[in-house]
Amino acid sequence: MTDRIAHHPAFKFIRSEFIDALNASVQEFEHIVTGAKHFHIASDNDENVFLVGLKTVPTDSCGVAHILEHTVLCGSERFPVRDPFFMMIRRSLNTFMNAFTSSDWTAYPFASKNKKDFHNLLDVYLDAVFFSRLDELDFSQEGHRLEFAEPDNAESDLTFKGVVFNEMKGAMSSTTSVLWQTLTKYLFPSNTYHFNSGGEPTDIPDLSYDDLLAFYRTHYHPSNAVFMTFGDIPADTLQEEFENKVLSRFERLDTQVSVPNAKRYFSPVRVEEGYAADEVKEDGSHVVVGWLLGESTDLTQQFEAQLLSSVLLDNSASPLRRVLENSDLGRAPSPLCGLEDSNKEMSFMCGLEGVKREDSSKVEALIFSSLEEIAEHGVQQDMVDAMLHQLELSQREIGGGSYPYGLQLILAGLSTAVHSGDVIAQLDLDPVIEAMRERVQAQDYIPNLIKSLLLSNAHRVTLTLSPDDALEARRNQAEKDRLCHIKASLSEAEAQQIIARSEALKERQAQVDDMSILPKVGLEDVPARLPEYDREQVAGRLPITFYPQGTNGLVYQQLVVELPELDEEETSYLPLFSSVMTELGVGHQDYLAIQEKQAQVCGGLGASNSIRATINDRQEVKGYFILSSKALVPNVNAMSELLRDTMLNVRFDEENRVKELVAQRRARREQSVTGQGHSLAMAAAASAISGLAAQQEAWGGMSGIRSAIALDDAMKEDSVAVQQVLAVFKRIHSKLLQAKKQMLLVAEAQHEASIMTQVNEVFADLPAGDTDTHFALPAQQGQLKLAWLTSTQVSFCSKAYQTAFGDHPDVAALTVLGGFLRNGFLHRAIREQGGAYGGGATFDGGTGSFRFYSYRDPRLTETLADFDASIEWLLNDAHSDEALEEAILGVIGSMDKPSSPAGEAQSDFYVQLHGRSLAYREAFRAKVLSVTIEQLQQVAKTYLTKENENIAVVSSVTKRDELESLGFDIQSL
């Protein structure tokens, strides 16, 4: 085996295993001198992925690992520029670039389909991680610093600034984040998980620059590192770069970074804390019970915990989830429900949100009585088998979405690798699944797991987290008092040092680096053509489009229904209808039976809507309702029957079930504000631009969240409200049954004939539909200046402008303009100087709107002014061709970003369905590649004007007076 796996002589080969389910070989190596591990997933996939992970173990909540992750990317030995990470984003065709701080590791991953680009990024990442400059001014920018409100005036108020400081203010404005951090603080009383690795805003200012340097020296060393790669570049080629550029300069560390196990409780703990809220609602508490389990590196323990969690909580038919969903003690199951297995020691959690504070003990009692009952009576074997089936599906599926497939595999094994577990076993679950199939046949297997892992486990915490409408004011006052105390104790020399550092940082942020020292790709490296996908279209009563793709034994099936004309009420409830439809009963079976059936035969059912404006008119739309699923090839017939039966016979008489789903949806939507604030602000600002933009905001924006809250409240007060909604659902369903339909199938080519035969037989009695009415939305055009206020410590700002649309010649320049403004002005002004976590500009081709945004922003009016200043900069300053090329590369990179095989097929199907042919997309690509600086300036002059401006912000309730004085229309949830 050693001879067959080529490796660099500085590494020793450990072992290799081909994993059928992944169609890849996982190879393990160790660097002889330093002990650094290298895991390579050898695949014929040309999207190569790199990640270096380091075990990072903070001993407080100052955020040292998180701030270090940011600062490391601010210049290195070979690349001594101020911001190589963001510069490389512009000079690359990467499909992914980022850095992560977890609770016990920090990782630096990237991916690219272009080999030249991959090696460029590898150069920069290796040097950044192991030979970072860690300039003290970068620490001040990224971590925290003191600054006077008027930077050159020592008489003005002191403030805390810093990107991570403001990022964590935003993150810890999320109730879910507070819930998780508070529970783990008590679950892990004695090790690193006790602390907030991202940093508590109250603690971040305690971190010193010397602390940062010391942490870097002990943690950022190859002896504490694991290299993980994926793709078609051989392991020895990668190892040669690791050795030549990093490893040859290090010796093995004598001491090892480790995470000791938490001290165990001998009896359960009950605690209560608060979270910041605008108002104290009687039923505003969260009650969560958490257990500390065994080690995640023990694959048997991990798999047993995963199986138990799935059996108890996977879907509404799961026994513990069913109890939680049906309980009158709370609004919905807690967002923390489930297993956390990324830490060295696993934890299991369950509970309710929307609970009365005095009912905390009742929730705990409900959970325990339910577990005792399940342990006593057992679980149906069908349900256990269904959960094993779901694990097999997840093992076989080639993912896509926001992470490249190779990175998903790497992340699945990263925690195990960091903690010296068996990575190959972690990635090859088939043998474990087979072993479990035998074990679960014992009737007492699941009951025994419940008893041993939960009922008999004394290391248990019950947390009650209750709303506190004075908490934010106390927190703000404490910060103000602290700053006043610091200011009062400053000597004149110390005050001048703060002023001098502010000036030095400002100069550093304004300096123009020599970017030529960084590697780059150019427009000459851009692929000439977009990929063209094979597909077969079969006409008939139910037209079928089949894409032959490498799906690793899975079949993806979608029933696509042309959206008919809907009235205003039906339109308003369309997304709710879609989210609820696959969660209800079908025919004579109730929703519990259908949830079980879905788990047994497929990866669940989902319903969604695809709505886009036509190419020629932003106010005219075309829409489709989509019912979708995926299954292993042997289950195609059963999946098709389930899809057909759901489409034909879905039940709209389960009133209590709909109330539960509405309550759960409300809870998810309320929790999304601080994580998606920039998207919500942009949606609000653009809502005056077209009918589709207005409807998207009403469905998914801040007003959509407010509607979700109002509907849930109405259903709780009056059963008539539920009946009215169900009546609307029935009308929508009736119209969909009469509408035109077609089928999309994605699978491996060799299965096409059998799949098509089965699908045609199953759907023979489905009405094909012949209605000629089409979905439409009323036109919308106007101006707004809107502020949504909520419980948050930071702001999210946006401006939106109505622009050219569709195939208009200006669209290409508008698409490039967003990246050009971000790269050249907005990143520096909003993130580096302003301290926001992020900011930029983007063109939305779906609505024909150009939008500015900021994310987790300590400022408000100053950021809105920076949006305007970026336009002045564009029009009045000289600009380089290189800056233009970088912006164009960014657009092409996002256009060419690969997905999973099934995802790429589905994407191709829908862009063509909406009239964007391959020829149309390639013509647009050519226009993007030929955009000039003069065109950027011309579209800015034409569209980005005060007369065409719409402004929206999501901000704190403490900003009400300021926003009212500026003429904002104030709205609240």
- The C-alpha angle with vertex 372 and arms to 370 and 378, in degrees rounded to 5, equals 95
Predicted local confidence at residue 400, as pLDDT: 62
- Cα 818 to Cα 418, 436, 607, 696: the distances in Å are 39, 52, 33, 21
Q: Are 747 and 554 in contact (CB under 8 A)?
A: yes
Q: What is the DSSP letter of 263?
A: P
How big is the chain by its Cα radius of gyration, in Å?
A: 28
- Helices 933-943, 811-821: crossing angle, 10 deg rounding: 100
538-765 with 785-972: one CATH topology?
Answer: yes
CA–CA separation, 767 and 509 (whole Å): 64
Summarize pLDDT for 512-564 with one digit per residue, the tens: 888 889 999 998 998 878 889 999 999 888 999 999 998 988 999 999 999 99
- Helices 591-601, 381-396: crossing angle, 10 deg rounding: 50
Q: How confident is the model at residue 73 (pLDDT cuts 50, 70, 90)?
A: very high
SS3 of 378, please?
Answer: coil
Pick the closest to residue 278 from 961, 957, 794, 795 (CA basis). Answer: 957
3 pLDDT above the threshold of 70:
no
362 pLDDT above the threshold of 60:
yes
Architecture of the CATH domain 785-972? 2-Layer Sandwich (3.30)
- Phi, psi angle pair for 187, to nearest 5°: -65, -30
Q: Are 68 and 865 in contact (CB under 8 A)?
A: no
- Mean pLDDT, rounded, for 318-322: 96
Neighbours of 195 (CB within 10 A): 24
- In the block, residue with structure tokens 């391959």: 918
DSSP 523-588: GGGS-SS------EEE-SSS-EEEEE---TTEEEEEEEEE-----HHHHHTHHHHHHHHTTS-BTT
Predicted local confidence at residue 894, as pLDDT: 87
CA–CA separation, 827 and 837 (whole Å): 10
Summarize pLDDT for 595-612 with one digit per residue, the tens: 999 999 999 999 999 999
Which is higher by pLDDT, 930 or 3?
A: 930
Predicted local confidence at residue 616, as pLDDT: 86
Q: What is the DSSP letter of 28?
A: E
Q: What is the DSSP letter of 149?
A: S
CA–CA separation, 886 and 831 (whole Å): 19
- Mean pLDDT, rounded, for 263-278: 95
Q: Which fold has domain 11-258+495-517?
A: Cytochrome Bc1 Complex; Chain A, domain 1 (3.30.830)
Q: How confident is the model at residue 401 (pLDDT cuts 50, 70, 90)?
A: low
- Mean pLDDT, rounded, for 55-64: 97
1 pLDDT above the threshold of 50:
no
Q: Are 182 and 468 in contact (CB under 8 A)?
A: no
Architecture of the CATH domain 538-765? 2-Layer Sandwich (3.30)
Percent of the chain topping pLDDT 70: 99
Q: What average pLDDT is seen over the chain?
A: 94
- Cα 257 to Cα 100, 103, 222, 422, 438: the distances in Å are 19, 14, 12, 18, 38
Predicted local confidence at residue 2, as pLDDT: 42
DSSP 411-478: HHHHHHHHTT--HHHHH--HHHHHHHHHHTTSTTHHHHHIIIIIIT---EEEEEEEEETTHHHHHHHH
Q: Which two tokens stand for residue 681?
A: 């602000």
Summarize pLDDT for 770-790 with one digit per residue, the tens: 777 899 999 988 899 999 999
Predicted local confidence at residue 242, as pLDDT: 98
Q: Which of 14-28, 234-248, 402-416 has the highest mean pLDDT?
A: 234-248
99 pLDDT above the threshold of 90:
yes
Catalytic residues: 69
Q: How confident is the model at residue 874 (pLDDT cuts 50, 70, 90)?
A: very high
Summarize pLDDT for 44-55 with one digit per residue, the tens: 999 999 999 999
Predicted local confidence at residue 374, as pLDDT: 96
Q: Where are the domains of the chain?
A: 11-258+495-517, 538-765, 785-972
Summarize pLDDT for 178-236 with one digit per residue, the tens: 999 999 999 999 999 999 999 999 999 999 999 999 999 999 999 999 999 999 999 99
Predicted local confidence at residue 552, as pLDDT: 85
- Mean pLDDT, rounded, for 109-129: 96
Pick the closest to residue 460 from 347, 353, 361 (CA basis). Answer: 347
Pick the closest to residue 19 from 230, 167, 215, 160 (CA basis). Answer: 230
- Mean pLDDT, rounded, for 815-844: 95
Summarize pLDDT for 875-922 with one digit per residue, the tens: 999 999 999 999 999 999 888 888 888 999 999 999 999 999 999 999
CA–CA separation, 940 and 318 (whole Å): 55
Predicted local confidence at residue 101, as pLDDT: 94
Summarize pLDDT for 940-952 with one digit per residue, the tens: 999 999 999 999 9
Predicted local confidence at residue 823, as pLDDT: 95
